[in-house]
Structure 1
Amino acid sequence: MTAPQSALTHPLGLEDLEAHETARGRVAVTGHATYRGVRVGVKGVSPRGPHVEIYGPVDLPDILWRQDDVQAGFTSGDVEFSALDRFRLTRTTTHDAVDEHTPRPGVFVDIAGVEFGVADTCGTVGPDGVPLLQVMWVGEGSPVGDGWVLDGYGQWTQFVERARVASVRHVEWTAVWRDLTVFVDSISGDTALVFAARGGIPEFDVPEIVHGPNTRSGWSAVVPLNQLNLRSWTSVERPVGVGCVAGDVGLVGGRTVRVARAENSTTDRAGFVAQKLRGETVTEEYVVHPRTGRVDSMWEWRATLDGTDLHDIRHITTTATWKGQTRPVVGVFEAKDLVFFEKETADLSEVSELDYTATPVRPSELPLADVLW
């Protein structure tokens, strides 16, 4: 099945890259593309004329209004839209107020004109090797059609082929809570899951705050919605991408998520973690978990599991053919158009279609989750 085309991967012209004001905010389009065989960054439509402003290696040829940084090895300037291909763009919309027209925080996709929530954009892979996304009904009443089941959170979900989706959209609010600026990740009834991406734990006592082992980085809290002074919101839309190509995905509460064993876990019934990146759908049991002990560390969402609600675990592997040889894929960096093999890296355009496999595994066979370093 061919994925529906999006202006984020197949823009028709400069109008699809142009920043503009809306009645309630501002839209900017940035990302990456290929210029004469070289991957470059895209800043959007140039303010200097009908061109695209890009940046990349300092030896890029035929750049208008070029500004070289020889020490850093980069240049920036303008090129014709027709000189670019293999786009992967992100559309970011910012609004300075939250009102009755503001969409709720979450992750959303559009399929044939109908909006759905998404359990996790990493997705999973079916027994037949087809990449899947688990979508959630966000409309009024109950969904119509076969394949819908209630998950452990009381929401209707269904698995659809990933190829039916062109892009995903993440909505996040900004608010002030107890004089602290926070992001609102999700809302459930009268409560909100908020987080601070950096800055360390406040010096004064805030019992609602929970955090990982690094107290110098981010934290999260579940708070009453009426305690938030809502300030602004952001919508980020990006191509759906290839999904999980290597790793372990299971169902927790009936929803797909990357899973791993916690340290010292040896059985199928205890000691597991669910892991999500920022910009995914999370519920109140998830906590901001910094990946390192440094200040302002990178972080992810983690939930601790006892194993009783962990089901249908699949170990996902992917292969691709490059230079006449079929090799295991370690990862894909789509912004840079790269595929990573065990010891080599190739341009995504140079490899065959990805061939996915999903193998059932027991919880005790899962790898250990990364530890703080």
Structure 2
Amino acid sequence: MVAEALPPLEQRLEAVARAHGFAAFGIARADAAPETAARLNAWLAEGCHGGMIWMESRAAERGSPQGLWPEVRSVIALGMSYAPAADPLALADEPDRGRISVYAQGSDYHDIVKKALKAVARWLVAEAPGADVKVFVDTAPVMEKPLAAAAGLGWQGKHTNMVSREHGSWLFLGAIYTTLDLAPARPGRDRCGSCRACQDACPTQAFPAPYRLDARRCISYLTIEHDGPIPVELRRGIGNHVYGCDDCLAVCPWNKFAETAHRHRAFLPRAELAAPALADLLDLDDAGFRQVFAGSPIKRIGRNRMVRNAAIAAGNSGDAGFRARLAALIEDESPMVADAAAWALAELAE
């Protein structure tokens, strides 16, 4: 009896990736996105990265896979779906609630995606002895989005995030670098056309042009990465966002094809993170913050940034019932919390 031939390595690799929870899979040559370094350097030169100094300090490594690891030959790009069941924009009409970005309402994606990446990488090494691999989520200098586009997962939309025909804007991206020469996929094709829904949806006008993001005006940057007082001229635009922002993602027409059936169960929203009361957030101390946000990516911003964000949201609420809590925060040990509370009180006095 003649043994049945195994499918190509790439085909079996995709099956293993999907078995470990990845909804999107593709392969690109390591040199498949040569324009990335020039675009990154131009963006950095304009200062659009704000205070994210690590973007600048490791730009040479970030600009290309070979800059980080000269031996890499192929990039396996993977996406895990976190498509929301509810409309992320619904809470905009509930000013007493804080809005948390969909990606942060469940388990920390770093842990879930990295564990799955390592499992896939172990399988690959076992199937191809002598191959070397490295896995990345988003804590290393890797440009996951252009690499994912080169691997056929989709394209970078006008909001600069990955857009997939099957999964919309709701993909966590990970990458496996390998010394293997794997067959590359056809690159994704830009399908944004004349649509500018994401540009028009941004409350703080963070897009100076299509496909360009100025992080210094982005609500996700301001509420997560920025450590210090948020610029006064941008505070009203923040609305009731307390961690991140999905506005530009949520309005993308391609999301109508994103099925929640593909969502990884680890990213189901925790009840206490889906629509937290601003009053509860304003009352947080360090211990309370750590308890509420344990196991969530939110934990990394710390209590002070969260309460700062909640104070700004309270100031935007129009609800005078927040005055007592805000008055107490004017004496907070954190200057940025005290500053946000004072601003919010003034807003509610108008």
TM-score using structure 1 length: 0.22
Q: Which has the higher helix share?
A: 2
Task: Specify which structure has the bigger relative contact order, considering alpha-carbon pairs within 8 angstroms and separated by 6 or more residues.
Answer: 2
TM-score using structure 2 length: 0.23
